[in-house]
Amino acid sequence: MIMWQHILFPVAVFLFFIWSGNWIVVHLVAICYGKWKLHRKTSAPPSATGFPGVSILKPLVGVDPNLTSNLETFFTMNYPQFEILFCIHEDGDPSIKIVEQLRKKYPHVDCQVFIGGEKIGANPKINNMFPGYKAAKYDLLLISDSGIRMKEDTLMDMVQHMTDRVGLVHQMPFVCDRKGFPAAVEKEFFGTVHARFYLSAEFYGINCCTGMSSLVRRSILEDVGGLQTFSCYLAEDYFIACAVLSKGYKLTISSQPAWQNAGSLQISAFQARVTRSVSTINIFYSKAFYPSWARLRYAMLPHTMILEPVGECLFMGLMGAWAAHILFGWSLLAFFLLHALIWFILDWILLSIVNRGGMPMNKFEFLICWIFRESSVPYLYLLALCVPAIRWRTGTYRLRWGGKVNEATSDI
C-alpha cells in the first residue's frame, strides 16, 4: 500500500499541475487574446490606392440555400482592386447559373469562371482551384470556401494584417446565426472549444491555420513549387502555412472571424458532417468538426492522439478530480461539478467575445448545446481513431502518416 502511495502521489501532483495550468495557459489566454484581437476595428486610410490587388480563388461544387447571398458579399466588398476567380467542379454544376447571374448584376467586378479543374493530385480542392491559380493576376491570393460570407471591410482588414513580415493571414472559423438546434450546437462548437484552441495556439505562435478563408502570398507558394506542391495532402492549409513559416514569414489571424453560412442543418446532416460518412451532404470544401480535423491532426501529428483529449472538459475534470482526491481528500463529485461549472462560465464568456454582437442564444439553450457537445466527445474521439478514411463528395480518401492522402478504391 505504501509503495502505491509513493507512485500515485507524484502522478497526482503532475495531473493537478496540468489541471491548474490549463485555466491560465488555455482558457484565460483565449478570452483575453480574443477580446483584444477580435474587437479591433478596421479603418481604411482616406486614400486606398496604395492597397495591393487581391485574387480571390472561390472553389464551388453544388449549391445550398445561402450560396447566392454568400457569393454576393464578395461582389460588394469595399476594396479598391480585386478579382474573383470562380473554380467550378464540373460542367453542368448548378452553381454556374448563380455565378452568371451575379456577374450580370455586378458587371464592374473583375470576374472569371473556370470549369472542370485540373487533375494534379489527390486533393480535390486544389485540383479544382488550379486553373484559377494559374490565371491569377495578383500576388495576394485569398482562398475562400463556398460557404463563407464576407462583410464590406473583411478583405480590407485581412490585407491590413499582411505586413512585410507576414506571409499568410487566416480567419478563425465561426458561423453565422441560424435557427435550429443543430445550428446552435455548431455555433457552440466553433465559439467555445474550437475558438479556445485556435486563439491560444495563435497567441503562442503555433500553426493552427485553416484554409476556409486565408490570404497568402503567391510568391511564397511559387518558391516551393506552386500550389500543386500541396496536392498530395488533404490538409493543404496546414502545409501551406508550414511553407510560409519555412520562408521566414509569420502567420497571423484577421480581427474578423470566417463567417460560415451554409444552408439549413438537420440533426442527421449535422451527424453526417461530423463523421463525413454521407456523401449527399455538400461538404466538399469544408473541414469542420472534430473527427475529420482529428483524423488529419493524428496523421500529421501523432502525439496529439494523447494530448488532445486532455483539453476537453470531461477528461480534464475527471483527471483533476482524481488528483485532488488523492492529494487533498476532496470529494470527486463535488470537485468535478465545480470544474464543469467554471468551464461552462468561461465558455459562455468566450462565445460572447467571438460572436462580437452579443450572445446568439440564452443561457439555457447554451447549456443544452454545451452538454450535448461535451458528452459526445468520447464517441467522436474514438470514431476519429478507428476510422482511417475521410469521405468527401467526390470520393473516399485514406490518410497516411505525415498527412499525405490516397484516393480509396472503394467506399468505406
The closest alpha carbon to 277, from 392, 371, 121, belongs to 392
Residues with a known catalytic role? 237
**67 domain residue, yes or no:** yes
Residues 307 and 347 in one domain: yes
Mark residue 288 as left, alpha or beta (left: phi above 0; alpha: psi -120 to 50; beta: remaining): beta
Q: What is the pLDDT of residues 102-140, one digit of tens each?
A: 999 999 999 999 999 999 988 889 999 999 999 999 999
Q: What pLDDT is attached to residue 192?
A: 93
- Summarised one tens digit per residue, pLDDT across range 333-385 is 999 999 999 999 999 999 999 997 677 788 899 999 999 988 887 776 666 66
Considering the domain architecture, whether residues 385 and 248 belong to the same structural domain is answered as: no
The CATH number of residue 140's host domain is 3.90.550.10
324 with 250, same domain: the answer is: no
Domain tally, the chain = 2
Statement to judge: residues 251 and 286 lie in one domain: no
| 124 lies in some domain | yes
Instruction: Give the structural domain span for 100.
Output: 54-171+212-256
In a domain, 205, yes or no: no
Residue 229 belongs to some domain of the structure: yes
Domain assignment present for residue 393? The answer is yes
- Boundary-marking domain end, from 256, 287, 310: 256
202-239 per-position pLDDT tens digit = 999 988 888 899 999 999 999 999 999 998 887 788 89
pLDDT, residue 122, reads: 83
- Tell me how far apart the alpha carbons of residues 161 and 159 are, in angstroms, rounded to a whole number: 5
pTM score above 0.75: yes
410 and 333 part of one domain = yes
| Residue matched to cell numbers 465545480 | 338
Q: What is the H or E stretch that residue 216 is in?
A: strand 213-217
- 156 plus 249 within the same structural domain: yes
> Is residue 204 in some structural domain?
no
Check pLDDT > 90 for residue 45.
Answer: no
